[in-house]
């Protein structure tokens, strides 16, 4: 009854569409214009994605740190490693660059050799004060050499902060206004004024300026995303249109299909603007995804139209049958694809939730556009010519289908043995997969800013901040001698890790105070003894200059201190090991009954976020499998058919996971997406095949072999067409400079290719081998919905044959 109602619904839908052609086209045009106006609300992400939910303990700790010490990611770092910098002209020009940067309203403060301050003791006033390291520009090489010696030998406080003593690399740190760090103002400043200034400096001096820092990395990374959107859309259009034309040999059909997906892309951008979602590395993939997923809809609809025209030559009847017969099938397959993307919505990650919402909505939209535009446009055109129908009789396609049929008919045992071997080998590969928590792994390796990241990593032992917060639970308790020694003890632990940079904390300032107390002699750069501490702290309390420096390391109450270090880009396992050992030593050094400590920072935030996301995405994949299994149960009302249908779709996922393990592609936010996306798309072929198979069973009075081979020949061509389009369509993502996007494209393409072969070879083999278990009316009951109508039978046959 439900199936009959469904067929009546699609028949009425076909009449409504064809009788209101002009009105529908006007509505589509109006909606497209409306979405076009929403483009002005699109904005690109100005912050790195926070993969953790707001109420996650790690996130809460980080927010508490920011509220106490302020934004940690507002520094852009410039560096030069060149001995010619230490000539008067170039050294003075380097200092002029610092002044020029400090003059911009977007810059809060610049720390460089130009304004470097030395902590000295005023013997008359008995207090510390800051005096300029550079009292005047050096005019001679002798003056500069003297300054150079003092800088590298007399100021250990600034080692690894403003310079690397061993390589004599010099840095300038530009602190941006914290209010503009996460806005588009930052991007405009860096891409325009900042870059112009650096370019001019390099042109005048011949020095190579290395640039890094989170604001700069984020800006350049997001600019790469913007640049790649246009490339992906263009590449997807070119590739899919060429393949489409190769299959159909019709400029008209190709042009109509391209119009459909271009409108779909316009709607996708409009949805992003309407929902006020930022364009991120994930949402930037949606427009080309819509092209790749929309073209198979066009293939099914146009192919069916041409088949109907070839059969009886009646245009009106052909268009009506396209809608009534293919509409339900394409709706079901688009729903399963959208379900694969919609499962991302359940994750607590804002990044993935927005991606899932926009992608699933637009997949349904591209289906609606295909179903409306293609029949309506063809209704205004003449019937396809004979040359446009030649592709329906391609010999090489017949040869491909015959090859598959021979394998299913004669080599089923070999198919099963091959499948089991692939399964076992893939499981071995799965055990070799690692999880990546690196924030820079997916960044474009050939980009200048990425090479600069490696430069700073080598010169200054780390790029991502790790913050240790120590709460002494006593006002002004940080500067107590016992607490300073505990912080120094923990700093020694940090120094034992080659992956971590030299830690900086209030301990370094106290050491610097002792050095200043003893007239700047470098060997006194050490913690004062208990007796010295009394005198030095008395002097420090009178000193305004030291109080200003103290703000960077201790909160306003003097109760909470921070120890800052930076970590290199290391493997997740090593990062977790470092974190565990740091926490162990933190508890050992600062007993929990007397201190409140925490470990935070961008590096740990990203690590925790990645692991949290992977866990959620595994759950979303399980949900996708469960949803589609329920969907199959609703369609076919048979548990055995559910199992049979899932096997050829799960095996490709396992094979892909195994390949990832052997090739060394880690599990990370970008690659974990592969499985939900590929599963949602590949199951479409299963639905098409099983729908046709069930129909053939009814027509052939439950003769299994005849029904399987008929279904294989009938659906093999369209499944091959769509799989090839999807394979090459997703392959355009390998053009990306982002490692994660490349992996996503390659892995989804490979998975869909495996899935096509599994659905065309393994699935028919299983149906034939298990025919006694499934080939009866009790198992294959009448489905709730006819995916393909009952009159969709091989030409010349009827239900009464």
Percentage of the chain modeled with pLDDT above 70: 89
**Cα gap 139→146, rounded to integer Å:** 12
Nearest to residue 675, comparing CAs of 616, 751, 742, 602?
751
- At residue 669, the pLDDT reads 67
Contact residues for 746 (Cβ-Cβ < 8 A; gap 6+) = 731, 733, 734
Contact residues for 172 (Cβ-Cβ < 8 A; gap 6+) = 77, 78, 79, 94, 97, 98, 101, 110, 111, 112, 113, 162
Nearest to residue 612, comparing CAs of 181, 94, 151, 55?
55
Crossing angle of helices 602-636 and 572-589, rounded to 10°: 130
Question: Residue 26 pLDDT > 90, yes or no?
Answer: yes
pLDDT tens sequence across 588-618: 999 988 889 888 888 788 778 777 777 777 7
- At residue 792, the pLDDT reads 44
pLDDT tens sequence across 706-717: 878 887 877 777
**Cα gap 504→461, rounded to integer Å:** 13
Region 669-682: mean pLDDT is: 75
Region 301-307: mean pLDDT is: 79
Nearest to residue 179, comparing CAs of 66, 71, 69, 67?
71
- The neighbouring-strand residues paired with 132 are 117
Question: Residue 619 pLDDT > 80, yes or no?
Answer: no
- At residue 796, the pLDDT reads 37
Are 311 and 322 spatial neighbours (Cβ–Cβ below 8 Å)? no
Burial of 383 (0-12, 13-18, 19+ CB in 10 A): middle
**Domains, the chain:** 2-47+220-431+607-774 (1.20.1640.10)
Question: Residue 772 pLDDT > 80, yes or no?
Answer: no
pLDDT tens sequence across 350-396: 778 888 899 999 999 999 999 889 888 888 887 766 665 665 556 66
**Cα gap 37→49, rounded to integer Å:** 27
| Highest mean pLDDT: which range of 62-76, 302-316, 318-332, 751-765 | 751-765
Nearest to residue 235, comparing CAs of 178, 227, 761?
227
Region 402-411: mean pLDDT is: 82
More confident position, 173 or 307:
173
pLDDT band at 774 (very low <50, low <70, confident <90, very high): low
Q: What is the largest CA-CA distance in the chain?
A: 115
More confident position, 710 or 792:
710
Contact residues for 768 (Cβ-Cβ < 8 A; gap 6+) = 408, 412, 704, 705, 708
More confident position, 368 or 118:
368
Are 694 and 636 spatial neighbours (Cβ–Cβ below 8 Å)? yes
pLDDT tens sequence across 38-61: 888 877 766 666 677 777 888 888
Are 692 and 300 spatial neighbours (Cβ–Cβ below 8 Å)? no
**Cα gap 14→36, rounded to integer Å:** 29
pLDDT band at 452 (very low <50, low <70, confident <90, very high): confident
pLDDT band at 34 (very low <50, low <70, confident <90, very high): very high
Question: Residue 474 pLDDT > 50, yes or no?
Answer: yes
Are 309 and 342 spatial neighbours (Cβ–Cβ below 8 Å)? no
pLDDT band at 538 (very low <50, low <70, confident <90, very high): low
More confident position, 326 or 431:
431
- At residue 393, the pLDDT reads 59
On average, the pLDDT of the chain sits at: 80
This prediction has a pTM of 0.75
- At residue 794, the pLDDT reads 37
Read out DSSP for 182-245? TSHHHHHIIIIIIHHHHHHHHHHH----EEESHHHHHHHHHHHHHHHHHHHHHHHHHHHHHHHH
């Amino acid at each position: 009854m439900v199936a009959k109602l469904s067929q009546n619904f699609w028949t009425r839908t076909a009449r409504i569409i064809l009788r209101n052609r002009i009105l529908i086209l006007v509505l589509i045009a109006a909606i497209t214009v409306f979405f076009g106006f929403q483009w002005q609300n699109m904005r690109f992400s100005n912050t790195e994605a926070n993969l953790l939910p707001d109420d996650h303990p790690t996130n809460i700790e980080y927010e508490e740190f920011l509220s106490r010490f302020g934004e940690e990611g507002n520094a852009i770092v410039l560096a030069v490693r060149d001995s010619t910098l230490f000539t008067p002209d170039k050294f003075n020009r380097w200092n002029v660059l610092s002044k020029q940067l400090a003059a911009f309203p977007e810059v809060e403060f610049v720390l460089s050799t130009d304004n470097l301050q030395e902590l000295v003791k005023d013997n008359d006033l008995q207090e510390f004060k800051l005096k300029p390291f550079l009292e005047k520009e050096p005019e001679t090489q002798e003056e500069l050499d003297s300054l150079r010696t003092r800088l590298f030998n007399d100021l250990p406080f600034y080692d690894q902060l403003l310079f690397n003593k061993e390589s004599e690399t010099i840095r300038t740190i530009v602190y941006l206004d914290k209010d503009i760090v996460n806005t588009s103002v930052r991007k405009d400043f860096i891409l325009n004024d900042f870059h112009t200034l650096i370019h001019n400096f390099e042109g005048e001096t011949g020095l190579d300026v290395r640039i890094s820092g989170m604001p700069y990395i984020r800006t350049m990374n997001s600019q790469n995303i913007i640049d790649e959107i246009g490339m992906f859309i263009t590449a997807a259009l070119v590739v899919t249109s060429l393949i489409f034309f190769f299959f159909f040999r019709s400029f008209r059909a190709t042009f109509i299909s391209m119009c459909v997906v271009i409108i779909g892309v316009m709607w996708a951008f409009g949805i992003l603007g309407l929902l006020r979602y930022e364009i991120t590395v994930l949402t930037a993939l949606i427009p080309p995804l819509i092209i790749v997923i929309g073209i198979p809809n066009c293939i099914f609809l146009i192919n069916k139209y041409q088949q109907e025209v070839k059969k009886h030559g009646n245009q009106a009847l052909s268009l009506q049958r396209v809608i009534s017969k293919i509409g339900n099938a394409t709706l079901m397959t688009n729903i399963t694809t959208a379900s694969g993307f919609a499962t991302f919505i359940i994750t607590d990650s804002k990044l993935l939730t927005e991606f899932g919402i926009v992608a699933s909505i637009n997949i349904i939209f591209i289906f609606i556009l295909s179903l409306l535009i293609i029949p309506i446009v063809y209704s205004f055109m003449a019937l396809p010519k004979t040359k446009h129908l030649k592709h329906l009789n391609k010999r090489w396609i017949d040869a491909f289908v015959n090859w598959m049929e021979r394998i299913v008919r004669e080599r089923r045992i070999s198919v099963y043995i091959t499948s089991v071997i692939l399964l076992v080998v893939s499981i071995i590969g799965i055990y070799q997969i690692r999880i990546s928590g690196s924030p820079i792994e997916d960044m474009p390796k050939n980009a200048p800013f990425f090479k600069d990241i490696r430069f700073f990593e080598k010169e200054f032992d780390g790029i991502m901040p790790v913050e240790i917060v120590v709460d002494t639970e006593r006002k002004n308790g940080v500067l107590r001698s016992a607490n300073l020694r505990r912080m120094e003890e923990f700093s020694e632990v940090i120094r034992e890790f080659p992956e971590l940079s030299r830690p900086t904390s209030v301990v370094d300032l106290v050491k610097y105070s002792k050095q200043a107390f003893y007239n700047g002699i470098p060997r006194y750069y050490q913690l004062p003894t208990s007796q010295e501490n009394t005198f030095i702290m008395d002097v420090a309390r009178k000193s305004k200059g030291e109080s200003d420096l103290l703000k960077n390391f201790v909160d306003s109450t003097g109760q909470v201190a921070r120890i800052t270090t930076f970590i290199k880009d290391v493997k997740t396992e090593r990062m977790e090991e470092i974190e565990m050992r740091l926490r162990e030593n933190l508890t050992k050094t600062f007993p929990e009954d007397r201190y409140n400590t925490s470990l935070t920072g961008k590096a740990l935030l990203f690590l925790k976020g990645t692991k949290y996301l992977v866990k959620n995405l595994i759950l979303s994949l399980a949900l996708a499998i469960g949803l589609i299994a329920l969907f199959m149960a609703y369609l076919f009302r048979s548990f055995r058919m559910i199992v049979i249908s899932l096997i050829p779709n799960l095996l490709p996922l396992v094979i892909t996971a195994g390949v990832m393990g052997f090739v060394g592609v880690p599990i990370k936010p970008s690659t974990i997406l592969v499985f939900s996306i590929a599963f949602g798309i590949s199951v479409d072929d299963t639905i098409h095949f099983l729908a046709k198979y069930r129909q053939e069973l009814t027509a052939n009075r439950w003769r299994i072999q005849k029904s399987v081979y008929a279904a294989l020949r009938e659906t093999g061509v369209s499944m091959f067409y769509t799989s090839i389009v999807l394979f090459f369509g997703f392959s355009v993502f390998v053009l990306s400079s982002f490692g994660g996007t490349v992996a996503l494209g390659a892995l989804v393409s490979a998975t869909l290719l495996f899935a096509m072969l599994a659905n065309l070879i393994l699935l028919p083999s299983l149906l034939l081998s298990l025919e006694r278990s499934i080939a009866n009316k009790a198992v294959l009951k009448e489905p709730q919905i006819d995916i393909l109508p009952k009159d969709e039978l091989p030409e010349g046959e009827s239900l009464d044959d």
